Each structure stands twice: as structure tokens, then as C-alpha cells.
Chain A
Amino acid sequence: MTGNHVTELEIQQYVFDKTDCPNQIAEHIESCDGCAARAAGYRLVFTGIKQYPKPVLDFDLEKSVLEILPKPASAFSPEIFLAYALSIALIIGIAVFGFLYRDRVVKIFAGILPIAVYLVIITALTVCALQVMDIYKKYQKKMRVLKSM
């Protein structure tokens, strides 16, 4: 309270948050014509806000949202089935070839210098590491975009 009257903040508290308003303030407003008139102004504001028309969108929100959502993947996809089938066939083919011609395969590698083998392995690992780093960077970028939304 300032002087003999309540502050603007206290009047707002009395009108908008009456449960949190101390009794002393409520009693003053109810007994003081000046403060009661100020409170009446806020009551009109409150009534005006309550009368404010509820917003309505001029389209069907639910329908418009469902239209743009990505469609769920169907249980059977011919493309995915073909990709899996080819991958399995390829792995089986390599395994059968390796088993049938294992002596020749061993001979091929026996003729190569160990340093050359190491070179090939290191190159392959480097390429793989670069690929993984690239994938990770892309993932981080996507996460940053999502977080900024």
C-alpha cells in the first residue's frame, strides 16, 4: 500500500488473483470508493477479455495437418525386399566362391607383399573413418536444426 491507498499492482492482484490477495488489501478496496472505482475499471477489462471472441480458423486444421504428414511405411515394400534379396544372394555367392576356390584365393594373397596388404587395409580403414565422420557431421547439423525449431 502507498499512503492511504493500494497500489495498481495490488488492485490487479485483487481483481485477477483474488485467492493470493491479502485480506488487508481486499478490505481496503471494499471500503474505499476511490480504490473500488479503480478496481471496477479492471473488472471491465477482465469482462472485455472474457467476451473477446474465441479464434476460429477458416480451414480444417486436423485435415490440413494430416495431409502433409509423411505417410507411414507399408509393411511390404518390393524395393526393400529386392535390396535384401540381392544382398543375401551376393553374400552367399561370395561365401560359396571363397569356399570352392579357397586354395586359389590363399595363393593370390601369398604372392602379395605384406606391406601392400597393410597399405590396402589402412586405406580402406581411412576411407571408412572419413565416411563415419561425414555421417556424424550431417547428424549433428540435423540435430541443431531440430533444436532450433
Chain B
Amino acid sequence: MGNNLPDQLLVESILRGNTNAFSEIVRNTRGLVTQIICRMMNSVEDRKDISQDIYLKAFNSLRSFRFQSNLSTWIGQIAYNTCLNYLEKKKLILPGKFFDEDDQESQEVSYDFSSSATSETEVLIFRKEMGSIIQSSIESLTPVYRTMIMLYHREELSYHEIGQIMKLPEGTVKSYLFRARKALKENLLSQYKREEI
């Protein structure tokens, strides 16, 4: 974290009136912002308005940016808050718990995935099937946890950066990620067993 010279130069250039330098910021943060928007918002129609809103907010508050985090993390934070506000306004987000607390105490079930497939082709088919089951499980997660999983595993952000974006303590991020992965694994297990029956 801390000062990033290219970020600082870009911000100074924009503040001097070079609006076109902002496109560089858009290019640098496009992946992260797209990931947040798409994981938080199911409505494809609203994504354009939301993305414009995110970058307009970032542009207008650029003067208040103090380089206490990376510019991308700061824009990620704006993106996350904007999506969250949108979902709350539309009452599309379930406040409070993500999983029931009982889930944590659920029975530990074990299944030997590796022994299910024997030949190489079977292994490939098995992996493909598992991939699609996991993908549908990811879709069924709440937007906040889906975003968290993707930021950690796909965007490779640290717990600290995710905490900054979502305004959560690092410990909470770790705990939520643990529960999300556990839910994904249990979902995978139950769906696989159902298909096998």
C-alpha cells in the first residue's frame, strides 16, 4: 500500500484539467470494477449506468484522494459501495446473515472425489461436471460473498485489500471466505451425491 508514483502522476494530470488521462485510470481498474459490478449486479441493463456512476464519483472526488491506499483499491471501494447502495435501494440484498450459524456446525461429510473417476477421459468429464456444479453454486451465493470469493481467488487481492474495499476487518474477510468456501464444497458434495443416486 502507500504511494504509487504512476497513480499520483495520473491524478495530478487529471486535476490539472487533462480529462483524457482519466481513461488510463479506467483501463487500469476495468478488470476489478467489472468483476465487482458483474458479481454484485445480476441486472445486465443497469450495469452501464452503475459503471458510469462509479467513475463519475471517482472523477469528482479525485481531489479528496489522499493516496492512503492504491488508486485501484479506492475505486474498487467506490464500485462496491455504489453497487451495495443500488441493491439496498432496490431491496435486492438480504441484510444480515449470509449462512445460518448452524451451517458452521453442520456434519463433516467426506467423499473421495479422486476415486470416482478412473480413466483419463472420465477424470476430464468429472472435472467438467464438477466445474459446472461449482459455478452454479457460486451463482447461488449472495452478491457480497460471491464478490469476495472472486476478488480473492480471481483478482488475487489480499485480505487487507478486500477489507479496504468492503470496509471490513481482515479477520471478518477471512471468516466470511472460510464460510463461503465451505458452503461451496458442501453444495458440490450434496449435488454430486444427488446426481450419482
A residues bordering B, Cβ < 8 Å?
Answer: 8-9, 12, 16, 33-34, 37-38, 40-42, 44-52, 54-59, 61-62, 64-66, 68-73, 146-147, 149
CB-CB contacts below 8 Å: B138-197 with A? 138, 149-150, 153-154, 178, 181-182, 184-185, 188-189
Known: A54-B154, A69-B22. A49 touches B52 (CB 8 A): no
Known: A48-B135, A146-B61, A149-B78. A37 touches B47 (CB 8 A): no
- A49 near B19 with CB under 8 A, answer no
Having A49-B138, A66-B23, one finds 18 other A-B pairs with CB under 8 Å, namely A12-B181, A33-B112, A37-B110, A44-B113, A44-B130, A48-B134, A48-B184, A49-B153, A52-B134, A55-B39, A57-B34, A59-B48, A61-B34, A62-B27, A65-B51, A69-B56, A146-B64, A147-B64
Interface residue tally for chain B (C-beta within 8 Å): 55
* Residue among A37, A40, A47, A49 having the largest count of chain B Cβ atoms under 10 Å: A49
Chain B minimum-CB-distance residue to A68: B52
For residue B138, which residues in chain A have a CB less than 8 angstroms away from its CB? 48-49, 52
- B113 near A41 with CB under 8 A, answer yes
Alpha-carbon gap, A33 to B127, bound state (A)? 20
Alpha-carbon gap, A12 to B48, bound state (A)? 37
- B131 near A47 with CB under 8 A, answer yes
- B135 near A62 with CB under 8 A, answer no
Partner of B150, one of A8, A42, A52, A73: A52
Hey, what's the 0/1 contact readout for B33-68 against A, CB within 8 Å counting as 1? 111011100001001100110011101110010000
CB-CB contacts below 8 Å: B75-123 with A? 78, 81-82, 108, 110-114
Among all A-B residue pairs, the 6 with the closest Cβ atoms: A48-B134, A55-B38, A37-B112, A65-B55, A49-B153, A51-B131
How many Å from the CB of B167 to the closest CB on chain A? 13
- A56 near B34 with CB under 8 A, answer yes
* Residue among A9, A33, A48 having the largest count of chain B Cβ atoms under 10 Å: A48
Instruction: Show 19 residue pairs from A and B whose CB-CB distance is below 8 angstroms, ordered by the A residue.
Output: A8-B178, A12-B181, A12-B182, A16-B181, A42-B181, A45-B188, A47-B131, A48-B134, A52-B154, A55-B34, A61-B30, A61-B51, A64-B52, A69-B19, A69-B55, A69-B59, A146-B61, A149-B61, A149-B78
Known: A42-B181, A149-B81. A50 touches B153 (CB 8 A): yes
- B39 near A8 with CB under 8 A, answer no
* Residue among A9, A42, A72, A149 having the largest count of chain B Cβ atoms under 10 Å: A149
For residue B69, which residues in chain A have a CB less than 8 angstroms away from its CB? none
Alpha-carbon gap, A59 to B108, bound state (A)? 45
Alpha-carbon gap, A12 to B175, bound state (A)? 11
